[in-house]
Chains A and B, each alone.
Chain A
Amino acid sequence: MEKSYIVKQISIFSENRPGRLAAIAGALRDAGINIFAFSIAEADGFGVVRALVDRPEDAHRTLTDLGFRVSFTDVIGVKMRDEPGGLSEIASILGDAGINIEYAYAYSGRDGAVLILRVDQAEDAVRQILARGGELLKASLSQ
């Protein structure tokens, strides 16, 4: 049950220099893979590109074949109302549930807004959020 809400994010190691994002995005375009959501975390000389895509397995294989260092990470997507107070509502739920966020990013699309979270205990977090009336993105959307 909880598992059906755990979404496979792909994470790609990237050097922090011009053209690297273009190389990753171009590879996904050529493979016909759609990106729903995406973020870049940067550090000293390198970064990690994180993305939710429609075909994670294909994306992983495509990028690995091109020599990229790629991994899957379990994340969850919490749906938000796309209006003032939407994030605040969700943040309260997470706070009340004692869920520690390792990182987060968000997107706002046709079907509303989604907050994507990497947390310590994903299945536990899913249970807590559902119990407090939160609504979660189904993993099947990205399979």
Chain B
Amino acid sequence: MAPWNPRTEEMPPDELRRLQYKLAKSLVYRLYSFNEFYRRRMKEENVHPDDIRALEDVAKLPFMYKRDLRDGYPDKIFSAEKNELVRYHVSSGTTGKPTVVGYTERDIENWSESLARGFSSCGLGRGDVIQVSYGYGLFTGGLGAHYGAERVGATVLPTSVGNTERQVELMQDLHVTAIACTPSYLLHMGEVAEKMGVSIKNDTDLRMGFLGAEPWSEQMRARIQDWLGIRAYDIYGTSELSGPMFTECTEQQGIHVWGDLALVEIIDPATGEVLEPGEQGELTITMLQKEALPMVRYRIGDLTALEEGTCACGRTHPRIGRIRGRVDDMLIVRGINVFPSQVEHALLEIPEVGKHFQIVVDRKGALDSMLVRVEVSEGAFSDKITDLMVIKRKVEHRLRSSLNVSVDVELVEPGTLPRFEGKSKKVVDRRSL
């Protein structure tokens, strides 16, 4: 699909790196001069703006963490005057205080520009109707996708989350062609539609989805594309970066992170060292042009890797692979690191069970136990107990071999596992109670 901003999106890599260096250097000077929080952080680490003499020198800068935003609640680390702010978003703190993100007019402009490039790289444009089923309000998803889609000339249907039957009706009646929501909400919508006698594949004009705000997998993509008859694109962002910012293109080979807006580093979460392309590590982003709430080497906590080489679509900017999980979602069960995404991957390869699951971790005496609850799929249900026990043992065996930790599997009735209309909560850790 034709680039939205060809001069930038197809910039030769060397030129892009020079631009990134220039932007990084001026960002650091600006923060050192005007941002008390980051100047103090740099002084603690003995780094001066003059130490940044090449793009690689960014690695000398101190990291920023989620806790910096919490400690700075609500606006202590902002770099813009209050009267320059045009918007706030607030992310709900699951632990402790929420975090507040402020935006200048230019921040909103760059956010919309970033998504306009992503949306148009997937072919969204004038004539499309996009249903934005991310939450509107303090959450960044709804308004972020909304502004990006309006920018490319698409018609926005701002449904937000919930009232799913009405969403299905509107999808049909207004000939919606694209949707932005979480992958689990789209699956839920597909199920609700089927109960209403509506096949999204055959009875609607939906042809693409921008799915994100929670980790998902290639198998889940294959299932969504096949079942719903759409192209499913990964969309990535967090409120600290502005909101949903970056998407895949039609190649579906990684998420394009616009280098003039963001500098990506993948680091070893334990040592903080920068890793090579292709190596899995913690995503760390420096927002090169953000004004109100600067982000330097911000450790998002998502696990991914930089894709190697340039994309077949011709866009030259770096790409990141699928988010593999959260550094802090990682469960340690009997000393083994376990990511819920690994469970999802394994289950998707077992047709006898459904796509939903719940992990329950508990401790009996000194020993951790891990239980995975799954639903028997319709075709696999047999009224012979022995057949069901074979399925249970098969799932246990597969999970054990992919997680390297033994797992109990519980077969549960269909529809009893939570299908959340928002971020999925798939792990119950009873050890902390």
Q: Which residues of A contact B (CB under 8 A)?
A: 9, 11, 13-15, 20, 41-48, 50, 67-71, 73, 102-103, 118
| A43, B414: Cβ atoms closer than 8 Å | no
Across-interface contacts of A103 in B (CB, < 8 A): 384
Q: Name the segment of B13-21, B105-113, B375-383 touching the other chain.
A: B375-383
Q: Mark B382-399, 1 if CB is under 8 A from A, else 0.
A: 111100110010000000
Across-interface contacts of A70 in B (CB, < 8 A): 381
| B412, A67: Cβ atoms closer than 8 Å | no
| A15, B413: Cβ atoms closer than 8 Å | yes
| B411, A45: Cβ atoms closer than 8 Å | yes
Q: Which of B350-394 contact A (CB under 8 A)?
A: 375-376, 378, 381-385, 388-389, 392
If over half of B's interface residues share one DSSP class (helix, strand or loop), that class is named, otherwise mixed; here it is mixed
| A43, B385: Cβ atoms closer than 8 Å | yes
| B392, A69: Cβ atoms closer than 8 Å | no
| A67, B414: Cβ atoms closer than 8 Å | yes
Partner among B375, B383, B392, B412 whose Cβ is within 8 Å of the Cβ of A48 = B383
Partner among B381, B384, B410 whose Cβ is within 8 Å of the Cβ of A69 = B381
Q: Which of B377-433 contact A (CB under 8 A)?
A: 378, 381-385, 388-389, 392, 410-416
| B381, A43: Cβ atoms closer than 8 Å | no
Across-interface contacts of B413 in A (CB, < 8 A): 13-15, 20, 67-69
**Bound-complex Cα distance A43 to B416 (A):** 19
Across-interface contacts of B389 in A (CB, < 8 A): 43-44
Name the CB-closest residue of A to B381: A69
**Bound-complex Cα distance A68 to B389 (A):** 19
Name the CB-closest residue of B to A66: B415
| B388, A43: Cβ atoms closer than 8 Å | yes
> A13-B381, A69-B378, A71-B382 given as contacts; is B411 within 8 A of A46 (CB)?
yes
Across-interface contacts of B385 in A (CB, < 8 A): 41-43, 47-48
| A67, B415: Cβ atoms closer than 8 Å | yes
Q: Which residues of B contact A (CB under 8 A)?
A: 375-376, 378, 381-385, 388-389, 392, 410-416
**Bound-complex Cα distance A69 to B377 (A):** 8
**Bound-complex Cα distance A11 to B383 (A):** 6
The 19 listed contacts between A and B (C-beta, < 8 Å) are: A11-B383, A13-B388, A13-B411, A13-B413, A15-B412, A42-B385, A43-B385, A44-B389, A46-B388, A46-B411, A46-B412, A48-B385, A48-B388, A50-B383, A67-B415, A69-B376, A71-B381, A103-B384, A118-B384
| B384, A45: Cβ atoms closer than 8 Å | no
| A13, B376: Cβ atoms closer than 8 Å | yes
| B383, A73: Cβ atoms closer than 8 Å | yes
Q: Shortest Cβ distance from B392 into chain A, in angstroms? A: 7
Across-interface contacts of B415 in A (CB, < 8 A): 67
Across-interface contacts of B392 in A (CB, < 8 A): 44
Other contacts beyond A13-B376, A46-B411: 6, CB < 8 A: A15-B413, A43-B385, A44-B392, A50-B383, A67-B414, A71-B382
Across-interface contacts of B375 in A (CB, < 8 A): 69
Q: Shortest Cβ distance from B15 into chain A, in angstroms? A: 58
Across-interface contacts of A11 in B (CB, < 8 A): 381, 383
**Bound-complex Cα distance A93 to B415 (A):** 44
Q: Shortest Cβ distance from A35 into chain B, in angstroms? A: 16
Q: Shortest Cβ distance from A65 into chain B, in angstroms? A: 9
| B410, A45: Cβ atoms closer than 8 Å | yes
**Bound-complex Cα distance A99 to B201 (A):** 48
Across-interface contacts of B411 in A (CB, < 8 A): 13, 45-46
Across-interface contacts of B416 in A (CB, < 8 A): 15, 67
| B382, A69: Cβ atoms closer than 8 Å | no
Name the CB-closest residue of A to B411: A46
Across-interface contacts of A69 in B (CB, < 8 A): 375-376, 378, 381, 413-414
**Bound-complex Cα distance A80 to B389 (A):** 32
Partner among B383, B388, B410, B414 whose Cβ is within 8 Å of the Cβ of A68 = B414
Name the CB-closest residue of A to B416: A15
Across-interface contacts of A47 in B (CB, < 8 A): 385
| A71, B376: Cβ atoms closer than 8 Å | no
